[in-house]
Structure 1
């Protein structure tokens, strides 16, 4: 046993005491509407995160409010806000995301990649005022401010809705970024992974257990050249750990979401996730956690992020946005308690060994 432990340490760490790139963890940040920010805010975000050796930023494709979360975001419509299917007329969003991808390449200096959620469950009528057109086409009930959340099961159970959604995903994955003259689905220079949807079927009493694997199987051939497919998480660790996702051959990565502050509970769920991932040939990372306000965000980072990389899992905090409101789930350098905790934990993430290899990050 002693010999095995020594060999692991020799091969997992470099001569400088850092983990070798073969098994090295990493940190990331959600900034779901970063592509809708003004160019100077985008550049500030990317430069700041690069300087902290942050490796991944996660964004969503969805309708964005003017001044979203108190930021300087410029309003944008989803490509299917007013109409399901081809022709997809709201191309302004794609133009702006293309530019953001270009900014990641330039200002990230090859050290930052993107996770892109190609849809958001909460666009399905949870915020009625910016629902997309699936809501009207498939008779999905709406909620005024997602409180309580609405039941969007019509979307996940209807076969025509599945076909419409797959057409959306294929259209996006085949979209050619003019700055690279390369389709999104193969743009491994900048894109780490795609997700068909953020928190699919979240906050619902009914659940179609086959939906996630079915849709990912249908689009698998459109994602290639080393770009990965991940789940997009769910509203808590338990739902993020659905066995059907681990058993799905079309999925590469399982992402975990939860806003608990209990590090012991988190540790147990991380260990469960690692066991399942090893059993079914997947990789796992923590994709959403955080706290509301400066002190609570710091607490989340010092408890949950620290527990994640201590267990060998990379993580992304929710969420880092320049010039956003204070006292909520957004933070940046002006939030000194949270930012200090973020700097500390981001440093130790990339100094920690991971249970899994991440060649797409440390290439």
Structure 2
């Protein structure tokens, strides 16, 4: 491996004090519904790519809403009324995290999603996408949800999730909180994210071995806010980005330095390479991009992120062939671009990380 990769962070200055390696992971929002055989396919594939973390969600899902994956349908944690909990998804993830652990993979758990809120789940129906972030009743109800999840007792291990550092990498309050409200709204309501982190921290304690992260936004600058960098309860600031300018090493480095200065970690929690020949961040449908071109994009962008010293998580790796539905960034295990993603993921460890996550990985 070229020495230039190992030394890629020298320009960040003396703030880089460890020789930690960049690690990788993926996302699968309906992971709770996979059966044992599907879990084996997915987890063995992720392991073969050297991936260490899988991000999962708690929103209800059925086969009709997945990327061609036939799953066991399950309801949302609060399917019918705020504060009335159905533990099905938690119990399914109890099984999943044990399997994941056997493959050297921990879970990052997103405890709610703006997608569900905007889709009129119980919070969306009662509060909408505005009052949810503004009214004390909504905030208090949501905090009760967070505490309920953290205190869920694993059905096999008999231990609450908040104590399962061997299995859980991080918790986030909400995927892409406020994303549909626009950047000005996010800036004006930065405290919501920090306050939810404080709620999570109050349950985890200071030495849980489990990280607290944000859930990303639309692009890099929207994902990294000063209020979150200053929030003591937040450990990790998550970046979501699909515009190719945000994959440039030089574009990422100033954000790395901001995080280092604030004593925080960054992770590229969501990024992907479009299957179509459209703009990468506008990927609903189009002509099929040449496979070699897509593979080159995956290689260039993955390496660009890693060269900036930031770990990354791809959106998404599937346990089945990608059916190429709309907004198609997914790569199924065995698909034409799987070998490329597998290769760049394994190669990420040749890059020095600006942030030492080693204590939180298996």
Mapped contact 1:261–1:300 kept (Cα < 8 A): no
Q: For each residue in 1:139-186, what CA deviation from the matched residue of structure 2 results, as whole angstroms up to 9, or x when unmatched?
A: x2xxxxxxxxxxx11211111100000000000000011222211112
In structure 2, the residue matched to 1:233 is 216
2: CA distance between counterparts of 1:186 and 1:121? 26
CA distance 1:322–1:246, change in 2 (3 Å): same
Cα deviation digits, residues 187-207 of structure 1 (max 9, x gap): 110111000010000021433
- 1:115 to 1:300, Cα distance in 2 relative to 1, 3 A: farther
Give the paired residue count: 325
Contact 2:322 / 2:335 at 8 angstroms: preserved in 1?
A: no
The answer to whether the Cα contact below 8 Å between 2:320 and 2:333 also exists between their aligned partners in 1 is no
Q: Which runs of 5+ in 1 are unaligned?
A: 13-19, 141-151
Shift of 1:237: 0.8
Q: 2:269 touches 2:314 (CA, 8 Å); kept in 1?
A: yes
The question of 1:92 aligning with 2:99 is answered no
Q: Give the C-alpha shift of residue 326 in structure 1.
A: 2.6
2:204 aligned partner: 223
Task: State the SS of the aligned residue for 2:63.
Answer: coil
Residue pair 2:110, 2:173 contacting (<8 A) in 1 also? yes
- Alpha carbons 1:22, 1:358 under 8 Å: kept: no
- Cα distance, 1:21 vs structure 2: 8.7
Please point out which of 173, 176, 180 is paired with 1:203: 180
The CA deviation string for residues 263-311 of structure 1, in whole angstroms up to 9 with x for no partner, is: 6x63344212211111110011111011232747535422321111111
After superposition, the CA RMSD in angstroms is: 2.3
Q: Which runs of 5+ in 2 are unaligned?
A: 11-16, 276-288
Partner of 2:242: 259
Match for residue 39 of structure 2? 42
User: What's the CA shift string for 1:182-237, capped at 9, x where partnerless?
Assistant: 11112110111000010000021433121100111122121242101001111111
Report 1:1-363 matches (<5 A). 22-67=19-64, 68-85=66-83, 87-88=84-85, 90-106=86-102, 108=103, 111-125=104-118, 127=119, 131-138=120-127, 140=128, 152-205=129-182, 206-207=185-186, 208-224=189-205, 225-262=208-245, 266-293=248-275, 295=291, 298-327=295-324, 328-336=328-336, 338-362=337-361
- 8 A contact 1:121–1:198 mirrored in 2: yes
